[in-house]
Structure 1
């Protein structure tokens, strides 16, 4: 496997997180006004990392394909740094400075490859609005160095022409579905098939990660629980997920903020050779 060196940091992650910060005042609810739930997803193959938040090692030896957290972060500004395990924080592989985190949000911060194979950090607002009885939510995020794809369930396209770093979602009847990822408009399978257990009252988030060129494409999943329409408590989860209880308004506005991801610039971070 050929691993591209992690020496680039994308300003798009900063821009999008700043957008989240600007929206925080519009979306915070009394129960969650002070903190956000932030999960971290490692979707860059071939390199374990230490994750630092404001200079503190928060996730040591974090492996590719894993989801960690959620971290309860108070509203404010954060420096996020990824290094090789044991390296000093000054030897960053990837970082964002002054990322503004709003209060009351549920965010997944994804380290992944951009469409052209450059390491990136992308935040996604997680939809933790309630689902109808008997339903489950599936969210698919294209975070791989690969062209546009279609996502199929039972051999039939559910989401079409999905590109990096976009997402698509739908509420479906709860149950097990066999899903795969194919090149857009074709039957050429890029990832899968895989059985997805869509439990009632949950959101299953599926990340396409890795590189088509390096033949490292794979799926990473995250599950958010507690989304039943009937009273059932605060959304929570396993494998690094939790909920904020925010309504649909947050996700509609946050989606506009995520458009900033498409126009961000890149800058170099000093790295070891």
Structure 2
């Protein structure tokens, strides 16, 4: 498995804003939201259309575009093969609602049936205590339930598509892998995660177990420090995971689908 990486597309935000005929608003603006787009559909580059305008051309699998600053409102989103018309879209979302003052990740990935879907997640950007980092794991792969282990010990168990789990931990480096739930059968990893103080590291499991395309995509949100900052964290450079980590967010994707109004509008085809 290749090393976790954050593939930033800084210019995508400006492209989207121009296409929408808006001007960028700062992250603290109450009317705007920070929206990142995560490409987790294996083997298929796409053009991303927002409100009928091509905003992210030739978007490659495994990359993260944004964050884009979008005003609150409703948006029509379509993903096509590069150069195809919107009428031949692989995936469409009509009237997706973007609330104000939120940090959102829109993830194009495979559902449990192996078909492309788009799932919104609201990212937790609450301030972190000094020396802490936030780890968020999201199951967005066409694969069975999995356990996520740190140092060989399960910390998140029985995670299913499209749910998430998260915890605030001591900053540092931790060796993580993914196994089939309740087994020792490794499907991803191990890999070292650099959990930096004052950041949220989001790890997405993507791809298909049946097609042997399972992989990971990572996203990092910075600026979550709370005063005082700069306090050394970790245990010998390793995140302190000796205490069982709390569960959060199981079933959150279903709630988000209802909040965003996507449940009835998302359609996909291969």
TM-score per shorter chain, which class?
Answer: 0.7 to 0.9
1:67 aligns with 2:64: yes
* Corresponding position of 2:221: 224
Task: Give the deviation of 1:265 after TM superposition.
Answer: 5.7
Residues 157-216 of structure 1, C-alpha deviations (whole Å, 9 max, x = no match) = 110000000000001111111100000001100111111100000000000000000000
Q: TM-score, normalised by structure 2?
A: 0.77
Q: Which runs of 5+ in 2 are unaligned?
A: 1-26, 230-248
Identify the structure with bigger relative contact order (alpha carbons < 8 Å, sequence gap 6+).
1
**What is the 5 A alignment of 1:66-215?**
66-215=63-212
Separation in 2 of the partners of 1:267 and 1:75? 19
Closer/same/farther in 2, CA of residues 268 and 115 from structure 1, 3 Å limit: closer
Paired residue for 1:57, among 49, 54, 57? 54
Separation in 1 of the partners of 2:77 and 2:258? 19
* Corresponding position of 1:258: 256
Pick the structure with more helix per residue: 1
Closer/same/farther in 2, CA of residues 44 and 70 from structure 1, 3 Å limit: same
- Count of aligned pairs: 222
Q: TM-score, normalised by structure 1?
A: 0.76
* Corresponding position of 1:45: 42
**What is the 5 A alignment of 1:227-246?**
227-230=224-227
Contact 2:139 2:204 (8 Å CA) reproduced: yes
Separation in 1 of the partners of 2:212 and 2:187? 9
Separation in 2 of the partners of 1:58 and 1:128? 26
Contact 2:205 2:214 (8 Å CA) reproduced: yes
Separation in 2 of the partners of 1:210 and 1:106? 24
Closer/same/farther in 2, CA of residues 266 and 145 from structure 1, 3 Å limit: farther
Task: Give the deviation of 1:51 after TM superposition.
Answer: 0.2
Q: Which runs of 5+ in 1 are unaligned?
A: 1-29, 233-250
Task: Give the deviation of 1:91 after TM superposition.
Answer: 1.6
Contact 2:117 2:268 (8 Å CA) reproduced: no
Residues 206-240 of structure 1, C-alpha deviations (whole Å, 9 max, x = no match) = 000000000000010000000011278xxxxxxxx
Q: CA RMSD in A?
A: 2.4
Separation in 2 of the partners of 1:87 and 1:231? 51
Closer/same/farther in 2, CA of residues 71 and 259 from structure 1, 3 Å limit: closer
- Give SS of 1:95's match: strand
Separation in 2 of the partners of 1:255 and 1:212? 21
